[in-house]
């Protein structure tokens, strides 16, 4: 009996796989939430919402490729490690090509960002530059801030309020809106939980590679506490947003995801230590929670603005 030989993936398929598509909604959906705050704004330019969301996702693609290629280049990721795209660790793409692919995604995102700037003015330039630099320097450049334990706090800002405020600005041209920034705290703390779930299971490997993530610095119990706190704060801020902004009680709709968040908390609490197989799925399952909760956030904001 002969067996069909699986075709070698095309270059384009590898470039896409390297973006780790499962995690891309963690930037695209928060951008939709920020844009939804603009519903009812007299100067809203809705075609720019689509441009902004695509730009954000392209930058995120560049970030994810950078993370994978740089962690491989620095010996942080090896073929034995499963929680990456496995494009670089298995030799399907080389480091030089991977870096070029990452900057290709960054460049496409920047070009779309410049389209928004051309229409709405320079208010978004700083956000765009900080977004690209913040994503690249996480694991790239001479001093990656992930390696000194700064990834957790900075990711809350970069993938939370900065995205929601940026999308709102893209639609309206307004440089700042408190509500647009505040709703970003929900995806911001949820993405921090995704990162912490990943780092929690990688403490041994990261420590051996000299990567001083916050999880490595505080140890397993401390890292688990950080994960639980981020998860709790992501939902606890919803009542605060209701009280502190012009959004109504519809903003509380994502609280229906608390039981799912409790499942993730129980999964983290059941972990016996770094490398526990039960923790391997914690990051992707937390990303699933992020997707569902932030999708409900978009619906909640949209409902509130339509009824306002």
How confident is the model over 242-267, as pLDDT tens digits? 999 999 999 999 999 999 999 999 99
d(CA 235, CA 256): 10
Tell whether 285 is covered by a domain. yes
Tell whether 248 is covered by a domain. yes
Q: Which position has the higher pLDDT, 308 or 161?
A: 161
Going by the DSSP 8-state scheme, the letter that residue 238 receives in this structure is H
**What's the domain count of the chain?**
1
pLDDT the model gives residue 1: 43
pLDDT bin (cut points 50, 70, 90) of residue 129 is: very high
pLDDT over threshold 70, residue 16: yes
Tell whether 3 is covered by a domain. no
pLDDT the model gives residue 82: 64
At 25-45, the pLDDT tens digits run: 999 999 999 999 999 999 999
Tell whether 289 is covered by a domain. yes
Average pLDDT over residues 103-126: 96
Answer whether 260's CB lies under 8 Å from 234's CB.
no
Tell whether 231 is covered by a domain. yes
45: which residues sit within 8 A by CB, 6+ positions away?
119, 120, 171, 172, 173
Range of the domain at 231: 11-307
Tell whether 198 is covered by a domain. yes
Cα distances from 60 to residues 28, 75, 167, 237, in angstroms, run 9, 23, 14, 25
pLDDT bin (cut points 50, 70, 90) of residue 4 is: very low
Tell whether 114 is covered by a domain. yes
At 171-196, the pLDDT tens digits run: 999 999 999 999 999 999 999 999 99
Tell whether 2 is covered by a domain. no
């Amino acid at each position: 009996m002969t067996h069909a030989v699986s075709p070698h993936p095309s270059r384009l398929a590898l470039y896409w796989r390297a973006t780790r598509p499962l995690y891309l909604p963690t930037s695209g959906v928060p951008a939709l939430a920020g844009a939804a705050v603009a519903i009812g704004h007299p100067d809203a330019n809705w075609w720019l919402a689509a441009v902004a969301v695509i730009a954000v996702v392209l930058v995120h693609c560049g970030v994810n490729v950078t993370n994978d290629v740089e962690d491989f280049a620095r010996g942080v990721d090896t073929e034995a490690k499963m929680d990456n795209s496995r494009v670089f660790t298995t030799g399907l793409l080389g480091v030089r090509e991977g870096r070029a692919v990452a900057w290709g995604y960054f460049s496409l995102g920047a070009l779309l960002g410049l389209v928004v700037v051309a229409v709405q003015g320079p208010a978004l330039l700083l956000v765009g530059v900080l977004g690209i630099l913040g994503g690249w320097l996480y694991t790239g450049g001479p001093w990656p801030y992930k390696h000194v334990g700064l990834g957790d706090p900075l990711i809350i800002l970069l993938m939370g309020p900065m995205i929601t405020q940026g999308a709102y600005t893209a639609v309206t041209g307004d440089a700042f809106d408190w509500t647009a920034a505040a709703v970003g705290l929900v995806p911001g703390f949820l993405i921090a939980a995704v990162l912490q779930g990943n780092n929690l299971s990688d403490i041994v490997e990261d420590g051996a590679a000299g990567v001083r993530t916050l999880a490595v610095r505080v140890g397993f119990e401390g890292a688990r506490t950080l994960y639980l706190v981020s998860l709790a704060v992501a939902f606890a801020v919803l009542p605060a947003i209701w009280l502190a902004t012009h959004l109504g009680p519809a903003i509380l709709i994502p609280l229906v995801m608390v039981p799912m968040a409790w499942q993730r908390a129980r999964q983290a609490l059941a972990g016996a230590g770094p490398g526990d197989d039960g923790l391997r799925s914690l990051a992707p399952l937390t990303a699933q929670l992020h997707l569902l909760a932030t999708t409900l956030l978009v619906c909640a904001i949209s409902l509130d603005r339509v009824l306002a």
